[in-house]
Amino acid sequence: MQFSCPFILASGSPRRKHLLQQLGVAFEIQVSDVEESFDERLSPEEIVEQIALRKVRSIGQQNGRALVLAADTIVVLDGEILGKPADPEEAIQMLRRLSGNSHVVYTGLALLHRPSDRLVTAHEKTTVYFDEMSEEEIKSYVSSGSPMDKAGGYGIQDDRGGLFIERIEGDFYNVVGLPLHRLYNVIKQEFGDLLQAGF
């Protein structure tokens, strides 16, 4: 998938970077530093789209020719949003709550192309079912450091994180942080003229 204009990923996430690299997309990274706070009265879908929108506008203002992509991912357990753990103890507490339960992962997407005045948002949701984790497994996983930069305190793509996931309903890549199928469909439908021949 190649574009006839510059393509910018407005995210510092190594997982999103890796997924785009796997697709062979030529892109540049510009990290947005916008505030990621949100109104708790909003639905999870509205929250992730709103934050992605803030990010894409921030980077889009500085790049007049590019197609800019931003994303935001949250984990929702029993109606509560779990962000990135602040410290190992909070990561342990999160994993104790996830153990043996299901939760929902939401990712919001925003794409902006200023030259054609196009701004599009979308979202994806995936339900994740965790197996029971022993206290030893939880503490060992947290001690690896892997949960610390991930919403909900785990990574489905980790060497160890995936071991505890019994099954999912929905897009695997959404849980990683970038729902590729949804992204591709939005690009085809809304920005297809910016795609070079092929995909």
Catalytic residue positions, numbered: 72
d(CA 35, CA 163): 33
Angle value at C-alpha 58, between 121 and 122, nearest 5 degrees:
10
The residue written with tokens 């190594």 in the block is 14
Q: What share of the chain is helix, strand, coil (3-state, %, to 5)?
A: 40, 25, 35
- Please report how the helices 135-143 and 88-98 are oriented relative to each other, as an axis angle in degrees rounded to 10: 140
**Terminal alpha carbon distance of the chain:** 4
Measuring CA to CA, how many Å separate 184 from each of 28, 137, 190, 193? 18, 37, 10, 13
| Token pair recorded at residue 114 | 């200023």
